[in-house]
Amino acid sequence: MPISPPDGYAPPPTLLSGRRLLITGAGDGLGRATALACAAHGASVILLGRTVAKLEAVYDQISAAGGSAAIYPMNLAGASWADYFELATVIEREFGGLDGVLHAAAHFKQFSPLYDVEPKDWIESLQVNLTAAFSLTRHCLPLLTKSDDASVVFVGDRPGREPRPFGGAYGITKAAVEQMAQMWASELKSKPQLRFNTYDPGAMRTALRKKGYPGELPEETPPPDSAVATLLWLLGPESRGVSGQRF
Ligand SMILES: NC(=O)c1ccc[n+]([C@@H]2O[C@H](COP(=O)([O-])OP(=O)(O)OC[C@H]3O[C@@H](n4cnc5c(N)ncnc54)[C@H](OP(=O)(O)O)[C@@H]3O)[C@@H](O)[C@H]2O)c1
C-alpha cells in the first residue's frame, strides 16, 4: 500500500462506486469541487452546507450528469448535539450507512493578531471548524464503524501545522483539528475499517482565500479542482489502511 497517491494520480471512473459520502461545505470551493468529483466517480454524496441555493446548484449539476446526491442544509455555527444526532439518524434511515466524511466547511474572517480576535469570530471559528468536525464525526461513528472501509478526512491548512503569527482563531482551530484526527486514529486503531487523516490542499482560488488575500489576482492561485485528486484517493479504497497521516 503506497503511503500517498502516486504523482499525477488519475482515479479510475468507478473508484467510489457504492460509497456513501458526507461532505460539509459542499456548496462552494473545495467541498463543491470534491462533491462533484466524488459523484462523477460513482459515490452517493450527501451535500451538507449553509446556503440552500448553493447546495441545490451542486445537486442539479450532479443529477444532470447522472450522479446520486442528497442535500442536508445545516448551519454548523449554531448546530447542537441533538442536530448531529438527527443528521446521523437521517443518514442511516435514508442511505442505510456511511462510508466516509470530508470536513471541508470552514469559518475564516481574516488574519489578525490574537489580541484583536473578535468574540464572534472566535466562537464561530470554534463552532464551525472544530466543534462541528468533532460532533459530526462522533455521531456518525456508529455508522462508519459498520462500513467495511470508512474514511474520514479533515481539511487542514498551513496556520494549523506551523505556529505562525496572525493565524487568529482559524489557525488555532486548524491546529486542534490536526490533533483531533491523530487522536481518533490512535484511539480507534483496533478497528482497521476506520481511518482518519488530514489534508492541506494548499492555496486555492475560493471565497475563503479572498478574505485572507484580497489583493491576489485570480490567476495567481489554482482553482479548488486542483486539490481534488488526493481527496478522491483518501476517500476511496486505494488508501485503505492509511490512518493518522497528514497529506
Ligand atoms: N482556499 C484556500 O486557499 C485554502 C487553503 C488551505 C486550506 N483550506 C481549507 O479548505 C476548506 C474549504 O475552504 P474553501 O477555500 O473551499 O472555502 P469556501 O469556498 O469559502 O468554502 C467554505 C465552505 O464552508 C461553508 N461554511 C462556512 N460556514 C459554515 C457554516 N456555519 N455552516 C455550514 N457551512 C459553512 C461555506 O458555505 P457557504 O458557501 O454557504 O457560506 C462554504 O461552502 C476549508 O477547510 C479551508 O480551511 C483552504
Q: What torsion do the CA atoms of 235, 80, 91, 147 make, to the nearest 10 degrees?
A: 50
What is the pTM for the complete model shown? 0.98
Identify the band that residue 143 occupies on the pLDDT scale cut at 50, 70 and 90. very high
- The helix (run of H) or strand (run of E) holding residue 52 is helix 52-64
Regarding the beta carbon of 127 and ligand 1, being less than 6 Å apart is answered no
Which amino acid would we find at residue 216?
A: E
Regarding the beta carbon of 159 and ligand 1, being less than 6 Å apart is answered no
Cell triple for 183: 487522536
Identify the band that residue 211 occupies on the pLDDT scale cut at 50, 70 and 90. very high
Ligand 1 centroid to 23 CA: how many Å? 11
Q: Which of 58, 128, 204, when mutated, tests ligand 1's pocket best, judged by the most ligand atoms within 8 Å of its CB?
A: 204
Ligand 1 centroid to 228 CA: how many Å? 14
Q: Which residue, by CA, sits nearest to atom 19 of ligand 1?
A: 29
Q: What value does the mean pLDDT take over residues 39-65?
A: 98
How far, in Å, CA of 204 to CA of 93, rounded?
36
Regarding the beta carbon of 197 and ligand 1, being less than 6 Å apart is answered no
pLDDT recorded at residue 55: 98
**Backbone φ and ψ of 190, nearest 5°:** -75, -10
Identify the band that residue 212 occupies on the pLDDT scale cut at 50, 70 and 90. very high
Mean pLDDT, the chain, as a whole number? Answer: 97
Q: Which of 22, 28, 87, 120, when mutated, tests ligand 1's pocket best, judged by the most ligand atoms within 8 Å of its CB?
A: 28
Regarding the beta carbon of 91 and ligand 1, being less than 6 Å apart is answered no
Q: What torsion do the CA atoms of 215, 221, 223, 225 make, to the nearest 10 degrees?
A: -150
Regarding the beta carbon of 49 and ligand 1, being less than 6 Å apart is answered yes
Ligand 1 centroid to 191 CA: how many Å? 30
Strand partners, 194: 150
Instruction: Collapse the DSSP code of 19 into the 3-class scheme (helix H, G, I; strand E, B; otherwise coil) and give the result.
Output: coil
Ligand 1 centroid to 1 CA: how many Å? 31
Regarding the beta carbon of 104 and ligand 1, being less than 6 Å apart is answered yes
Ligand 1 centroid to 32 CA: how many Å? 10
How far, in Å, CA of 179 to CA of 177, rounded?
5
Higher pLDDT, 2 or 18: 18
Q: What value does the mean pLDDT take over residues 61-90?
A: 98
Residues 6+ apart with CB under 8 A from 210: 216
How far, in Å, CA of 99 to CA of 97, rounded?
7
What confidence tens digit (pLDDT) does each residue in 20-45 have?
A: 999 999 999 999 999 999 999 999 99
The CB density around residue 14, as the number of other CB atoms within 10 Å, is: 10
**Which residue segments constitute the domains of the chain, with CATH numbers given?**
20-239 (3.40.50.720)
Q: C-alpha 158: how far from its chain's center?
A: 16
What confidence tens digit (pLDDT) does each residue in 155-207 have?
A: 999 999 998 899 999 999 999 999 999 999 999 999 999 999 999 999 999 99
**Backbone φ and ψ of 48, nearest 5°:** -105, 135
**Backbone φ and ψ of 171, nearest 5°:** -60, -40
pLDDT recorded at residue 113: 96
* % of residues, the chain, pLDDT over 70: 99
pLDDT recorded at residue 4: 84
Q: C-alpha 194: how far from its chain's center?
A: 16
Ligand 1 centroid to 219 CA: how many Å? 20
How far, in Å, CA of 49 to CA of 76, rounded?
8
Identify the band that residue 61 occupies on the pLDDT scale cut at 50, 70 and 90. very high
